[in-house]
Amino acid sequence: MHSATDTYRPPSEHYENFPVASWLCPAQLRAPIAAIYWFARTADDLADEGNASASQRLDDLAQLRSDLFLCAGSHIHSGRWGQVFDPLALMIGRFHLPVQLLDDLLDAFCQDVVFTDQGRRYATDAELHDYCRRSANPVGRLLLHLYQVNDALSLRQSDQICTALQLINFWQDLRGDIARARWYPSVEQMQAHQISERDLLEDRNTTAASRLVATYAAQAGSMMASGAPLAQRLGGRAGWELRLVVQGGLRILEKMRAMQHATWRRRPRIGKSELPLLLWRAWRWPLPAPGRP
């Protein structure tokens, strides 16, 4: 059996949209953040990794959900994921973590499995944003809960930042998602830009496809700018960490612009050498005007 502290490790690119405990995080919050992270990471693996069938993935996620509510109710879990639920049960009890937010994450992972298996597409951007409400926004709300921030404005701005980060990740990793048969561009936007799936499957520049990704990138950037004041208002380590998270997302958008938004051909990345730039931009807050680096 591992303690919550034992399970803490640095984040990997595998679940990169999750702002896990970092060197800026207060020591007393690393254990609960790590417990939340490994719960989400386990669910992500069940939904994505290996060669299991869709039905098996959904069964596993259902068992994970059952164990979540068992440990939340101070009952004995199945033991299948003891290294996840032993520390998570402690953190739920110690920090009164909102279990519904953890369940929302599971709901989003299940939706990924179903959509991929059935070849379904998001009909509208509103449907896509509703998915982000469950796949991304719970992360920010859980972190705010740990920082004891619960006012309506902060929650709303957190949702804007988290949805923006999720969307940026979608458009950044368009090539990889398509390879896994996951299509996040909505049918309405593809029709509006008069592009087909083939346009995003071929390794060639397409003006219409670039415009589609540019439209989505602009939406994400605007959403990020709307939520960004939360970083300044939080202050302290939480504020600095959120500033870096925001700047990381904006840096990806900047790289997307530099490559004419052709992310179905190549995935833009942030290298370790860019950390000083991100730190400087976080320090010179507030944000530059939209569209500027």
Q: Which residues contact 43 (CB under 8 A, 6 or more apart)?
A: 61, 64, 105, 106, 109
Give the model's pLDDT for residue 252. 96
Does position 20 have pLDDT exceeding 50, yes or no?
no
Tokens linked to 96 = 């009164």
Flag the least confident range among 107-116, 188-197, 215-224, 283-292: 283-292
Question: Which domains, from first to last, does the chain contain?
Answer: 1-120 (no CATH), 123-293 (1.10.600.10)
Best CA proximity match to 233, nearest among 243, 248, 225, 223: 243
Element (H, E) at 158: helix 152-172
Q: Is 133 exposed, middle or buried (0-12, 13-18, 19+ CB in 10 A)?
A: middle
| pLDDT tens digits along 94-118 | 999 999 999 999 999 999 999 999 9
Q: Are 270 and 252 in contact (CB under 8 A)?
A: yes
Does position 2 have pLDDT exceeding 70, yes or no?
no
The model's pTM is 0.87
**In Å, what is the CA distance from 194 to each residue of 65, 128, 181, 209, 284?**
40, 19, 20, 9, 40
Is the omega angle on the peptide bond into residue 293 within 30 degrees of 0, that is, cis? no
| pLDDT tens digits along 122-135 | 999 999 999 999 99
Best CA proximity match to 174, nearest among 184, 187, 164, 165: 184
Question: CA 223, CA 219: separation in Å to the nearest integer?
Answer: 6
| pLDDT tens digits along 76-89 | 999 999 999 999 99
* Region 8-12 average pLDDT: 33
**In Å, what is the CA distance from 230 to each residue of 114, 137, 200, 234, 271?**
34, 14, 35, 6, 26
Residue type, 4: A
